[in-house]
Chain A
């Protein structure tokens, strides 16, 4: 079994307090970082091979390196705690159970890129989690781990929590910055990238909560130790969120050497009620579905990519054989049609139309030509928007159409949804 790094003591009572965290080595990584020049901190993070945990898997050290040196403007760190990808709840657990690890990661990132302020942009619905963070920040200030002259080093750092108000799009980094500036969460045209022109037009690094939480262990135990925890280029511990039709849904910390089969059957206890697996979404709702024959894939960025999907936010949504895939695609399309920020026409209009067509098919009124129409609309969204939302929105439909076209056709032929799932209401 994998020795947890990020969640090693989260089951202890009051794991969110400074006292308990200090007993487990909190702020030791920050102490070490402050004893070296900022450039060396970036080099260590680069050497560790840490890749962003928000979804894209971009090397974190490289991102930090993009911040221009000696800029006359202030720089900022933004911790992306918007966590709104359906199926994802890992940052939720980190912030509520190990908030000091997140704060320490923010502080180290600030030191590395020369920032004095970090904002934690947390989704509005995480009211109670924001409270935990606020108390953790207050405790860290009182203990001298944040604020002025941390560890007598001349480094000042303040961290503020900023609550969003219910917008999936705010999880996209440039939209997050817009939202933080008090505007609608809509993406910006890039380049320039946030590392050069970000919050308030200043150089800004936006990192996911889990990404920043990986930084203190790297400084505590070294880049080599970290890289060796996983396969090549996929080092470190990874939090997997497993939900849907499994016996023990939850967040599990594991190496990226673990296979999807181990995650679903060993960690999460297998499919519920002795049913068979039908499909799994491996990395949050915007990643293409995988079939049971790919279960022996390594759950790493590169492994899942080879299997034809993406690790994304490592949110596995497991569906058993009672699940109608047209219904599942419709459910997710409803999400995307609702959450489209409205800036780019293909996504704003296209997502709505795709939802209408899916509703038509699922309700039994579909025609065979609707399938071509779905593909046609989808192909006019993907790649034609400012942010990756467009590609995300069409992925569930395209991948279910690819693997389960026969189910779509059965709906149209029979004029109804042929599957009767016991967990659906009044559905026959």
Chain B
């Protein structure tokens, strides 16, 4: 097989570039988060502490919003692996950010079922409203807009996940209202999915 002769060929077509994580401030877990981590680690056999790596990274992200190189080093020490092992994992999973993100991360599901229900319009509307393109953070650091792959709620398409909160069946008008609402009321505007509403 040969590559297409007329296709542009440049390094941008490859995914081999290494995106270095942001160095960040010196990091250490707060005592509460450290205790929470030890509690999580008890779910696994003592000699398998590495299993607690994903929970450990979630705690970092909860504490500082993203996972910095400093934090990776700290986590490596706490878990007992090398910093390279930690970076290996952070760079693989899409839910860990190795650069700072906005206060609200708007994640629009772009996969087929949502796309068939107008997810493209929702992304475009949000991009217009915020003045940024998908993948970018606005200058004030309030919003990050991301397009993500299937979130697993295809019957309530289109779905937008804002931080940990799901917003379902979001029309383009509702998406814009949500941004206004977040600006006006802050995190209280994050209603969560139908279940969260029911359990409240």
Q: Which residues of A contact B (CB under 8 A)?
A: 13, 83-89, 92, 96, 119, 123-129, 132, 160, 162-168, 179-185, 200, 241-245, 249-251, 281, 285, 315, 317, 319, 323, 328, 331-332, 334-335, 338-339, 341-342, 348, 352-353, 356-357, 360, 367, 370, 373, 376-377, 380, 423-427
Q: Assess whether B116 is in contact with A319, with CB atoms less than 8 Å apart.
A: yes
Given the complex, which residues of B lie within 8 Å of A128, measured CB to CB? 164, 166, 192-193, 195-196
Q: Assess whether A185 is in contact with B121, with CB atoms less than 8 Å apart.
A: no
Q: Assess whether A285 is in contact with B111, with CB atoms less than 8 Å apart.
A: yes
Contacts A160-B43, A317-B116 given; does A167 touch B94 at CB 8 Å: yes
Which of these, A163, A423, A425, contacts B124 with CB under 8 Å?
Answer: A425
4 tightest A-B contacts by CB?
A182-B53, A165-B93, A182-B50, A243-B154
Q: Which residues of B contact A (CB under 8 A)?
A: 1, 3-4, 6-7, 13-15, 43, 45, 48, 50-55, 57-58, 79, 81, 85, 88-89, 92-96, 110-113, 115-118, 120-121, 124, 148-157, 161, 164, 166, 192-193, 195-196, 198
What is the minimal beta-carbon distance from A272 to any residue of chain B, in angstroms? 10
Contacts A163-B54, A370-B4 given; does A250 touch B155 at CB 8 Å: yes
Given the complex, which residues of B lie within 8 Å of A360, measured CB to CB? 7
Given the complex, which residues of A lie within 8 Å of B164, measured CB to CB? 127-128
Q: Assess whether A87 is in contact with B112, with CB atoms less than 8 Å apart.
A: yes
Given the complex, which residues of B lie within 8 Å of A13, measured CB to CB? 198
How far is A88 from B115 in the complex, measured between Cα atoms in Å?
15
Q: Assess whether A317 is in contact with B48, with CB atoms less than 8 Å apart.
A: no
Chain A residue nearest in CB terms to B169: A249
**Can you list 9 residue pairs at the A/B interface with Cβ under 8 Å?**
A84-B152, A88-B154, A89-B152, A166-B93, A182-B79, A185-B92, A331-B115, A338-B149, A360-B7
Given contact pairs A183-B85, A241-B154, enumerate 15 new A-B contacts (beta carbons under 8 Å).
A96-B195, A166-B94, A168-B150, A182-B51, A182-B79, A183-B89, A200-B45, A200-B48, A243-B157, A244-B117, A244-B154, A338-B149, A377-B1, A425-B121, A425-B124
How far is A129 from B195 in the complex, measured between Cα atoms in Å?
9
Chain A residue nearest in CB terms to B116: A244
Given the complex, which residues of B lie within 8 Å of A185, measured CB to CB? 92-93
Chain B residue nearest in CB terms to A242: B155
Given the complex, which residues of A lie within 8 Å of B50, measured CB to CB? 181-183
Given the complex, which residues of A lie within 8 Å of B43, measured CB to CB? 119, 160, 162
Q: Assess whether B113 is in contact with A244, with CB atoms less than 8 Å apart.
A: yes
Q: Assess whether B113 is in contact with A181, with CB atoms less than 8 Å apart.
A: no
Q: Assess whether A87 is in contact with B154, with CB atoms less than 8 Å apart.
A: yes
Given the complex, which residues of B lie within 8 Å of A338, measured CB to CB? 149
